[in-house]
A and B are shown apart, each in its own frame.
Chain A
Amino acid sequence: MIELIVFAIAIATTVFLIFHFLYMNSLIYTLYHFGLQFSYKWASRYYLMLRLGFVLLGILVITSLSIVILYRRVLKAKVPTVERERYEQTLMKRIEQLRLELWKYKRKPSGVAGYVLLLYGAIAIASSVLYASSILAFIGLGLAFWGVLFLFVRPVRYVKSSLLDSTSFSSLVTIDRVIADLNYEGKGVYLPPRYLKGLKEGTVFISSEKDITVPTIEEVAKEKVFLKNPAGICLTPSGLDLANLFEKELGTDFAKVDLNYLQDNLPKLFIEGLEIAKAFKMNVRDDTVHVKITESVFKDFCNQVRTKLSNVCSSLGCPLCSSIACALARSSGEPVIIEKIKPSTDGEVIEAYYRILGTFPSEKQTAVASIEAPPTEFSPPTPKTVASAEVSTEEVPPTPVQPTGRHPSYLLNNLIGLVLIALGLYTLTWVGWLTWYDITTWSKSLDLVLFGSRTGEAVSLGIGMKVIHYFLISLVLLLVGVFTLFRKGRRLPNSR
């Protein structure tokens, strides 16, 4: 790749030199107007040097091209007399070097483009001041602006999704093996923040029995992995950090908002903010939450977890489903389970069903809820039955949550439409004022005002521009603004 860059620089320099020579040659003709007289004495040497310059440029191009070709041939050439192991080591080193070069090349392409454009823009602006050229000024402004824009909108570091999948799959294999060895059959219960010390922490409890069991706050507060009463294991959910990322992106704590906030903002976060999925729907009904995710970037990983790690999938869920469970537990303030995960046949759509378990008594007693076998199709939630419980007289009051309003970031979505509408209205108002002024002051007819030329008029519209053009521009701006504002409705397709 470096050889190609060097070759490109050589070609660019050659092109500039060609233009430079041609310009110098044209200056000779200008000198004739200043008294220069043709003579073979100077002309022959001059044209000889000019042609020699062009020949040297050609040699430069050929040499650069030859270097690129030879360099690539050397890379492809095999080392005939090296031992097998040394040869493999050399190849591996070369692969690592190339990988590093590729990573460097891909890392900040917009950064290089930004600096280059900024440099050319600065040169053009400086030249515009020197030569008093408005065209150069516009060009310089444009180049400098786009250079700054490329620097400003430089992407974050991107990695291949296969890299992500490979990184996290191994940890889930371990969890799957632990659950299988312990023979724990219970569904994972995602515990809300009131069970935990910090709002950013998370714990999922898997009971040794098939029944859903919620441990007491005191039991969880001991921060042990294996609990005795009830018997089970406390693990960190695989989607915990993802849930924390959701909070960071939305700029809020889920523990301080309600489920309606999640229903309003998670679709925008998934689709637009983090671009996790193509579509996201969330439906909250009583204590059941239905989530439908279309074309998630995690779909292959989820399929892999579902097929190879059945224990993890059935109890904890894949990281994406787990992150949503963490978010639900935090916002509702109640324990949450993943009741069922239902993928589509092609794996493009994932439907997850969550159940909020409601307030359970804590203190010294544990309430046990028995459930029926998971339904194959989604049905209205069955009422919980408490098999046996010694309910404490002191019930734990639910954690008070202060439902917040919608995050003001949703206003940003409407701002584009409003700005376009404002631009359109301003232009339309100005067109209307100009038309009214010409009709009343200069007694012009309407068609003359709209379609007539304004050469020599007090209010000029620019070369070739007429009032009708500005009228059409204002209409376009208005229509685009209205379309932008009302197209999406800013409520994404999450049916209620």
Chain B
Amino acid sequence: MQFPLSFWDISLWLAITAVILLATSEVISPYYGRTSLIIEKGRLRQAALLLGLLFILSVLIRIYIAMP
């Protein structure tokens, strides 16, 4: 039994989720008008940035692995 997702799959998932969250955190920003969405917008933005950085880290790891 092993986890069915490879490193590439997880990297792809990170990229997609990061983009979704980044776009969401930008759209719900108060600069577009006050929303009734009661969540910690600052924390959502932190989570989005963290995922983006994790994806970039996975890319760097792949580049490092692919280097001769």
A residues touching B (Cβ–Cβ < 8 Å)? 110, 128-130, 132-134, 136-138, 141-142, 145, 149, 152-156, 158, 271-273, 275, 278, 295, 412, 415-416, 419-420, 422-423, 426, 477, 480, 484, 488
- In the complex the two chains form, is A153's CB within 8 Å of B5's CB? no
Please measure, in the bound complex, the distance between the C-alpha atom of A295 and the C-alpha atom of B33, giving whole angstroms: 11
Please measure, in the bound complex, the distance between the C-alpha atom of A272 and the C-alpha atom of B31, giving whole angstroms: 7
Which A residues touch B39, using CB under 8 A?
Answer: 110, 153-155
Interface flags, B34-56, vs A, CB<8A=1, else 0? 10001111111101110011011
Which B residues touch A423, using CB under 8 A?
Answer: 15, 18-19, 52, 55-56
Task: Report the minimal beta-carbon distance from B43 to chain A, rounded to whole angstroms.
Answer: 5
- In the complex the two chains form, is A416's CB within 8 Å of B26's CB? yes
Q: Which of B13, B25, B42, B49 contacts A138 (CB 8 A)?
A: B13
Which A residues touch B19, using CB under 8 A?
Answer: 420, 423, 477
Q: Which residue of A lies closest to B17 (CB)?
A: A145
Restricting to B1-35, which residues have a CB under 8 Å from any CB of A?
1-5, 9-10, 13, 15, 17-19, 21-23, 25-26, 29-31, 33-34
Please measure, in the bound complex, the distance between the C-alpha atom of A129 and the C-alpha atom of B5, giving whole angstroms: 10
B residues touching A (Cβ–Cβ < 8 Å)? 1-5, 9-10, 13, 15, 17-19, 21-23, 25-26, 29-31, 33-34, 38-45, 47-49, 52-53, 55-56, 59
Which A residues touch B53, using CB under 8 A?
Answer: 419
- In the complex the two chains form, is A419's CB within 8 Å of B3's CB? no
Which B residues touch A484, using CB under 8 A?
Answer: 26
A480-B45 contact in complex given A132-B4, A155-B40, A423-B52, C-beta closer than 8 Å: no
Main secondary structure on chain A at its contact with chain B?
helix
Q: Which of B5, B38, B45 contacts A416 (CB 8 A)?
A: B45
Which A residues touch B47, using CB under 8 A?
Answer: 149, 152-153
Which B residues touch A416, using CB under 8 A?
Answer: 22, 25-26, 45, 48-49
- In the complex the two chains form, is A272's CB within 8 Å of B29's CB? yes
A152-B43 contact in complex given A416-B25, A423-B15, C-beta closer than 8 Å: yes
Which B residues touch A149, using CB under 8 A?
Answer: 21, 44, 47
Q: Which residue of B lies closest to A149 (CB)?
A: B47
Please measure, in the bound complex, the distance between the C-alpha atom of A141 and the C-alpha atom of B45, giving whole angstroms: 20
Task: Report the minimal beta-carbon distance from B39 to chain A, rounded to whole angstroms.
Answer: 5
Task: Report the minimal beta-carbon distance from A473 to chain B, rounded to whole angstroms.
Answer: 9
Which B residues touch A137, using CB under 8 A?
Answer: 3-5, 9
Which B residues touch A129, using CB under 8 A?
Answer: 1-4
- In the complex the two chains form, is B4's CB within 8 Å of A133's CB? yes
Q: Which residue of B lies closest to A156 (CB)?
A: B40
Please measure, in the bound complex, the distance between the C-alpha atom of A89 and the C-alpha atom of B62, giving whole angstroms: 70
- In the complex the two chains form, is A155's CB within 8 Å of B31's CB? no
Offer 17 A-B interface pairs, CB within 8 angstroms, sorted by A.
A128-B3, A128-B4, A132-B2, A132-B4, A133-B4, A134-B9, A141-B10, A149-B47, A152-B43, A152-B47, A153-B40, A155-B40, A275-B34, A416-B25, A419-B22, A419-B56, A477-B19
Please measure, in the bound complex, the distance between the C-alpha atom of A426 and the C-alpha atom of B22, giving whole angstroms: 17
Task: Report the minimal beta-carbon distance from B37 to chain A, rounded to whole angstroms.
Answer: 9
Please measure, in the bound complex, the distance between the C-alpha atom of A156 and the C-alpha atom of B15, giving whole angstroms: 29
Which 6 A-B residue pairs are closest in the complex by CB-CB distance? A419-B52, A134-B4, A155-B38, A153-B43, A153-B39, A153-B40
- In the complex the two chains form, is B34's CB within 8 Å of A278's CB? yes
* Other contacts beyond A271-B30, A416-B48: 9, CB < 8 A: A129-B2, A133-B4, A134-B4, A149-B21, A153-B43, A272-B30, A416-B45, A419-B49, A423-B19
Q: Which residue of A lies closest to B23 (CB)?
A: A480
A278-B40 contact in complex given A412-B45, A415-B49, C-beta closer than 8 Å: no
Q: Could you say which of B22, B29, B44, B52 has the most chain A C-beta atoms within 10 Å of its C-beta? A: B22
Q: Which residue of B lies closest to A492 (CB)?
A: B31
Please measure, in the bound complex, the distance between the C-alpha atom of A130 and the C-alpha atom of B3, giving whole angstroms: 9
Task: Report the minimal beta-carbon distance from A464 to chain B, rounded to whole angstroms.
Answer: 15
Which B residues touch A133, using CB under 8 A?
Answer: 4
Which A residues touch B3, using CB under 8 A?
Answer: 128-129, 137
Q: Which of B29, B44, B55 contacts A153 (CB 8 A)?
A: B44
Which A residues touch B22, using CB under 8 A?
Answer: 416, 419-420
Please measure, in the bound complex, the distance between the C-alpha atom of A6 and the C-alpha atom of B45, giving whole angstroms: 36
- In the complex the two chains form, is A271's CB within 8 Å of B56's CB? no
Q: Which of A130, A154, A272, A420 contacts B40 (CB 8 A)?
A: A154
Which B residues touch A138, using CB under 8 A?
Answer: 5, 9, 13
Please measure, in the bound complex, the distance between the C-alpha atom of A423 and the C-alpha atom of B53, giving whole angstroms: 10
Which B residues touch A426, using CB under 8 A?
Answer: 56, 59
- In the complex the two chains form, is B5's CB within 8 Å of A141's CB? yes
Task: Report the minimal beta-carbon distance from A134 to chain B, rounded to whole angstroms.
Answer: 4
Task: Report the minimal beta-carbon distance from A163 to chain B, rounded to whole angstroms.
Answer: 15
